[in-house]
Amino acid sequence: MSRIGNNPVAIPEGVTVEVKDNVITVKGKMGELSQPYDTVDIKVEDANVSVTRSSDNKESKAKHGLYRSLVNNMVEGVSKGFTKELELVGVGYRASNQGNRLELALGFSHNIVMSIAPEVKVETVSDKGKNPLIKLTSHDKQLVGQVAAKIRGFRKPEPYKGKGIRFVGEIIRRKAGKSA
C-alpha cells in the first residue's frame, strides 16, 4: 500500500490542471509543465488531484507514489518555483553571469563559460569577505537540480581543505591529511 501515492495533491488558487490522453498539464503563474503517465489513473476533483492504481501489478505499485510526487512537484513549481543555491569555496574562485551565460573561474587555466537553459534564471552574488553564491530558480524541479549538479561537477568539494563548489548547507566530510 503506497502511503505517498494515496495522499491527494491540493491545487492552490491560480493553478489549473488538465488530464488528456495520458498527459497531465499544469499551468500557473510561473509557467506550464506537462508529464506523460501510464499504469495509473489521475483524476481532478474539486481542488485536488488524486492518483490511483489501475491494477495491483508490480509496475503500477512502483509508479503510484512516483507519479503522485511528480504531480505535486509540478503544482508546487508553477505556483511557488524552486531554488538551488551553490557556494564557491576557494581562493580566487569567482562566478559572474550575463543573462543566462554563467562564467566560472575555478582555478583552471581557463574560465568555464556555460549556457543555461532559458527556463532557469541564474543570479550570482559576490559580497566582500564571503564566498560567491550562484542562485538557480525555475518552475521545473528536475531541470534546476540537473543544472546545479552539472555546475557542481566542474569542481566537486575535496575532503582535505573543502575547496570546490558545494550546495549551501551541504556538509563535507573532512579528512585529517598527513600526520608527521
CATH of residue 106: 3.90.930.12
Q: Is residue 15 part of a domain?
A: yes
Query: Are 54 and 123 contained in the same domain?
Result: no
Compute, in degrees rounded to 10, the torsion defined by CA atoms 43, 44, 45, 48.
Answer: 110
Domain boundary among 79, 100, 133: 79
Query: Are 112 and 153 contained in the same domain?
Result: yes
Query: Are 108 and 161 contained in the same domain?
Result: yes
Query: Are 67 and 92 contained in the same domain?
Result: no
Q: Is residue 121 part of a domain?
A: yes
DSSP string across the chain: --HHHHSPEE--TT-EEEEETTEEEEE-SS-EEEEE--SEEEEEETTEEEEEESS-SHHHHHHHHHHHHHHHHHHHHHHT-EEEEEEEESTT-EEEEETTEEEEE-SSSS-EEEE--TTSEEEEE--TTS--EEEEEES-HHHHHHHHHHHHHTSPPPTTT--EEEETTPPPPP------
Query: Are 31 and 9 contained in the same domain?
Result: yes
Sheet with 40-45: strands ordered across: 9-10, 48-53, 40-45
Per-residue pLDDT at 3 exceeds 90: no
**What is the tens place of the pLDDT at every residue in 127-167?**
999 999 999 999 999 999 999 999 999 999 999 999 999 99
pLDDT of 1: 57
Threshold 0.85, pTM exceeds: yes
Query: Are 27 and 87 contained in the same domain?
Result: no
Domain boundary among 23, 45, 79: 79
Range of the domain at 100: 82-167
pLDDT of 85: 97
How large a percentage of the chain has pLDDT more than 90? 86
Query: Are 88 and 51 contained in the same domain?
Result: no
Query: Are 87 and 153 contained in the same domain?
Result: yes
Is residue 80 within 8 Å of 127, Cβ to Cβ? no
Per-residue pLDDT at 80 exceeds 70: yes
Domain boundary among 30, 48, 79: 79
Query: Are 55 and 127 contained in the same domain?
Result: no
Least confident of 90-99, 156-165, 171-180: 171-180
Query: Are 46 and 72 contained in the same domain?
Result: yes
Residue 166's contacts (CB-CB under 8 Å, 6 or more residues apart) are 86, 87, 89, 152, 157, 172
**Grid coordinates belonging to 50:** 488524486
